[in-house]
């Protein structure tokens, strides 16, 4: 049920994101600097507000009510964007950001809570859930590309509102299936007897991971921004530029069964790597994707057009890295965070994306001022620093995070 709830919510989100930069560039006639500011500011708000939404879900609304309120706000935001007015444009973006802030951490926390009695399966559960996220993202770019070409921008934005209503309907009808997954302040979960020192150690470990992951998200945000512009201006193709964004979720959907099967086999041999080990490998892969764009720029993609193969390979690598960073990261938060702060720290995970989004928007203002290859060299340098940082602190993180897993397992077994 949560899979399909998130699938339609992500359709609504990614359909808007697929055309946001193009809409500002072609319909609103914003400058490159204005596009970067709005794109970075909006995405920063989208991923920062889950911190506040997580607090509200933990202490006031509960997770299920937060999903409903957030979904209604998102649907309203999409409807305002469909009016194609500059005044409703900014209000619509604000409603969308507030809606995601409530919806996103609550759904993710409900998923994690389903595995309280099966902690070893949390990573696999989040991989399956993340596939729902990606299915919505596959359909969205194609749907809005067709709608904006045949019926205009308003119809494209309006389709996102319809998807959001479908998401809420699914959650309303089938939410009885997650009635035992906890509801914020209404329930004290396992691990509530953690000592202050244990809780503090877990909190510090998660905050260190959060900081290290910030540069890793920057290439992902380039998919909807500079890489979309690069696809339009520097790639030999007749396809609409936004459809290439579907390669991100396509890769995730195709790769999820493979990665779940791999972790399952390794788990049976007691050889499954810890969450931070999976994330380290993911950072290396996203850095390789950035390197492909650098090589494409140096091969002619800085000023002319190059083969679409460069873009496809880069997007596949960047997307594959998400399979090794996001599901283990989400599982890590739900497993290690002190229970009374679980929703709050899930929001903290999304704050890392907020910071990355803001940096991505700021960097985007350089897109038409320096060669594209140099632009992505800068991004590759940032992801390399993250990899080195995680390698340096890995042993310390491992002791704390594995202790968290052990405590959770003991409590859940009890």
Is the full-model pTM beyond 0.75? yes
94, 77 in Cβ contact below 8 A? yes
Query: Where in 23-107 does DSSP place strands (E)?
Result: none
Cβ atoms of residues 214 and 145 within 8 Å: no
Per-residue pLDDT of 55-112, as tens digits, reads 888 888 888 999 999 999 999 999 999 999 998 999 999 999 999 999 988 888 888 8
Counting beta carbons within 10 angstroms of the beta carbon of residue 195, is it exposed (0 to 12), middle (13 to 18) or buried (19 or more)? Answer: exposed
Name the token pair of 147.
């709608």
Distance separating alpha carbons of residues 23 and 5, to the nearest angstrom = 27
30: phi then psi, degrees, rounded to nearest 5: -70, 155
The reported pLDDT for the residue numbered 75 is 95
- How far apart are alpha carbons 214 and 293 in whole angstroms? 20
Query: What domains can you pick out in the chain, each with its CATH number?
Result: 2-179+215-413 (1.20.1250.20)
Where does residue 370 fall: left (phi above 0), alpha (psi -120 to 50 degrees), or beta otherwise? Answer: beta
Residues 6+ apart with CB under 8 A from 345: 54, 203, 206, 333, 337, 338
What is the C-alpha separation between 108 and 100, in angstroms, rounded?
A: 12
Rg (CA), the chain: 21
Written as six digits, the tokens of 145 are 């590309």
Which residues have a Cβ under 8 Å from the Cβ of 60 and sit 6 or more positions away? Answer: 184, 185
Q: State pLDDT tens for residues 185-232.
A: 444 444 556 788 888 888 888 899 999 999 999 999 999 899 999 999
DSSP state of 274: P
Mean pLDDT, consecutive 10-residue stretches, the chain (414 aa), reads 88 88 93 90 90 86 91 95 94 95 87 80 79 81 92 94 94 80 47 74 89 94 93 94 89 86 88 87 97 97 96 96 88 80 79 91 91 97 95 76 49 36
């Amino acid at each position: 049920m949560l899979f399909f709830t998130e699938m339609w919510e992500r359709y609504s989100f990614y359909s808007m994101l697929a055309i946001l930069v193009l809409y500002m560039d072609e319909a609103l006639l914003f400058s490159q600097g204005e596009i970067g500011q709005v794109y970075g500011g909006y995405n920063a708000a989208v991923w920062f507000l889950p911190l506040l939404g997580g607090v509200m879900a933990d202490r006031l609304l509960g997770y299920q009510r937060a999903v409903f309120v957030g979904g209604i706000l998102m649907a309203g935001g999409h409807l305002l964007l469909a009016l194609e007015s500059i005044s409703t444009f900014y209000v619509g973006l604000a409603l969308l950001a507030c809606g995601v802030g409530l919806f996103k951490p609550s759904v993710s926390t409900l998923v994690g809570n389903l595995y309280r009695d099966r902690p070893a399966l949390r990573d696999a559960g989040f991989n399956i859930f993340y596939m729902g996220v990606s299915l919505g993202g596959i359909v969205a770019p194609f749907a809005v590309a067709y709608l904006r070409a045949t019926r205009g921008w308003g119809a494209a934005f309006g389709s996102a509102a319809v998807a959001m209503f479908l998401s809420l309907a699914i959650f309303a009808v089938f939410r009885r299936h997650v009635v035992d997954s906890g509801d914020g302040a209404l329930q004290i979960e396992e691990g509530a007897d953690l000592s202050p020192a244990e809780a503090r150690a877990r909190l510090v470990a998660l905050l260190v991971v959060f900081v290290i992951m910030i540069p890793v998200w920057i290439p992902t945000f380039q998919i909807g921004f500079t890489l979309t512009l690069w696809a339009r201006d520097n790639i030999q193709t007749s396809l609409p530029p936004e459809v290439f964004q579907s390669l991100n979720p396509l890769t995730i959907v195709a790769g999820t069964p493979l990665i779940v099967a791999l972790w399952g086999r390794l788990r049976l041999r007691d050889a499954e790597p810890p969450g931070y080990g999976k994330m380290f490998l993911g950072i290396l892969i996203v850095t390789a994707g950035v390197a492909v764009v650098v090589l494409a720029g140096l091969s002619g993609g800085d000023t002319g057009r190059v083969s679409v193969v460069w873009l496809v390979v880069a997007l596949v690598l960047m997307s594959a890295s998400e399979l090794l960073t996001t599901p283990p990261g989400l599982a890590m938060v739900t497993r290690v965070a002190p229970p009374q702060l679980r929703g709050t720290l899930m929001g903290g995970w999304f704050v890392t994306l907020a910071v990355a989004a803001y940096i991505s928007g700021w960097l985007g203002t350089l897109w038409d001022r320096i060669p594209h290859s140099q632009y992505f060299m800068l991004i590759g340098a940032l992801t390399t620093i993250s990899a080195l940082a995680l390698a340096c602190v890995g042993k310390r993180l491992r002791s704390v995070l594995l202790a968290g897993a052990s405590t959770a397992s003991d409590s859940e077994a009890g």
